[in-house]
Amino acid sequence: MTTQGPGSAGPVALSTRRPEVEVSRLVADMVPPPRFDGVRFETYVPDPGQPSQTAAVKRLTEFAASLDAGRDESPKRWFRREPRTAPAPGGVYLDGGYGVGKTHLLASLWHATPAPRERKAFGTFVELTNLVGALGFQRAVQALQGHRLVCIDEFELDDPGDTVLVSSLLGKLADAGVRLAATSNTLPGRLGEGRFAAADFMREIQGLSARFTSLRIDGEDYRHRGMPQAPRPHTDEQVTATALRTRGASLDDFGALTAHLATVHPSRYGALCDGISAVFLRGVGQITDQATALRLVVLADRLYDREVPVMTSGTPFDRLFSEEMLAGGYRKKYFRAVSRLTALARDAERLSPSL
């Protein structure tokens, strides 16, 4: 990480930024995030003790090949609905816990799909609902129905309205011949109950279940597999000093940032982080408000996507959400956020080795 040189501007405050995002950017940004730019099936390292991971790579490689097998060499016929060979199921669903590499595999599928980047889309469930909100349902269908593949990462079951909305969108796209792929997290404490998440997903998307092949991916969170415990928070003085000498850093008090997030639509959180090389937060405290917690989850996802290290003082990330929240209906979101923020805090240790 570069340090500030003489005359360099100091850190910015995310809590003062008010990004504006063009609708066209919402569509153009539906590609794998920077963290997954270089991933491929060959770079996925299966856990030798989890044969389902190796099996998933094989099945997804075959799925990607099936997209190529039916392609007419004439560009006008690339997206024909009736390939020469018998079609594979129209979609795949990756069911598994946190940190087993589902997003890596989903992004690898996107990269392996034989289509121009403007004819394949990759986004989280939240990003897809934001797209529908910005464009309207019919325009969203029109924007995506010519795609060869649409990938939805972290399909959510928390909001019935959004779930039905996206399910309807996927139904329209599937009818138009678009192939689909999705991931979701199995609820904590239920990893041994088979395909709990897959069953819920398929029930919620109603008539789409027959179009999906469910792939179970077992394993432990790779972010903690064989790694040390997450670093403990630093002091306010250490956070401030490191931010001041880190080029492209942001520096905020935690309370000011969480209050500001309430004034920015979550679809703009990616733009909020534009140009930021590292995030520094002073005085992190435990969150007890659900709305605040959910906004922070979205920000954590955008920071993780962009591989932005996070250095903090105050409450450690494993106590960021209350026990009540971690036992509630949004617990899968909170566990994912803790896992990702912990990884980013570990990344931040290289910013100042002397601390």
pLDDT digits (tens, 9 = 90+) for 92-120: 989 887 778 899 999 999 999 988 999 99
Percent of the chain that is helix, strand, coil (3-state, to 5): 50, 15, 35
Domain boundaries, the chain: 14-19+225-351, 48-219
**pLDDT (0 to 100) of residue 342:** 93
Q: Work out the average pLDDT over 348-354.
A: 78
The reported pTM is: 0.76
Edge-to-edge strand ranges of the sheet holding 179-185: 120-124, 149-153, 179-185, 91-96, 212-217
Give the amino acid at 142: Q
**What residues form DSSP beta bridges with 249?**
278
Q: Is the pLDDT of residue 224 over 80?
A: no
Q: Is the pLDDT of residue 163 over 80?
A: no
Q: Work out the average pLDDT over 64-74.
A: 62
**pLDDT (0 to 100) of residue 44:** 94
Q: Of 52-56, 59-63, 86-90, where does mean pLDDT reach its minimum?
A: 86-90
Grade residue 24 by pLDDT with cuts at 50, 70 and 90: confident
Retrieve residue 215's tokens: 């792939």
Q: Work out the average pLDDT over 237-258.
A: 97
Give the amino acid at 146: G
Distance of CA 117 to the CA centre of its chain: 18
| Closest C-alpha to 310, from 276, 285, 270 | 276
Q: Of 45-59, 148-162, 168-182, where does mean pLDDT reach its minimum?
A: 148-162
Higher pLDDT, 85 or 229: 229
Higher pLDDT, 100 or 275: 275
Higher pLDDT, 129 or 284: 284
Grade residue 75 by pLDDT with cuts at 50, 70 and 90: very low
Q: Of 12-21, 83-92, 157-166, 168-177, where does mean pLDDT reach its minimum?
A: 83-92
**pLDDT (0 to 100) of residue 160:** 66
Q: Is the pLDDT of residue 322 over 80?
A: yes
Q: Are 68 and 84 in contact (CB under 8 A)?
A: no
**pLDDT (0 to 100) of residue 77:** 37
Q: Write down the CATH number for the domain with range 48-219.
A: 3.40.50.300
Phi, psi of 145 (to 5 degrees): -70, -15
Residue 330: burial class (beta carbons within 10 Å; 0-12, 13-18, 19+): middle
Give the tens place of pLDDT for each residue, 185-219. 644 334 334 444 555 655 665 566 667 788 889 88
CA–CA separation, 226 and 101 (whole Å): 15
Q: Work out the average pLDDT over 241-248.
A: 96
**pLDDT (0 to 100) of residue 205:** 58
| Closest C-alpha to 29, from 265, 261, 270, 264 | 270
CA–CA separation, 196 and 185 (whole Å): 10
| Closest C-alpha to 345, from 309, 308, 299 | 309
**pLDDT (0 to 100) of residue 86:** 34
278-284 vs 310-314, strand pairing mode: parallel
Q: Is the pLDDT of residue 21 over 50?
A: yes
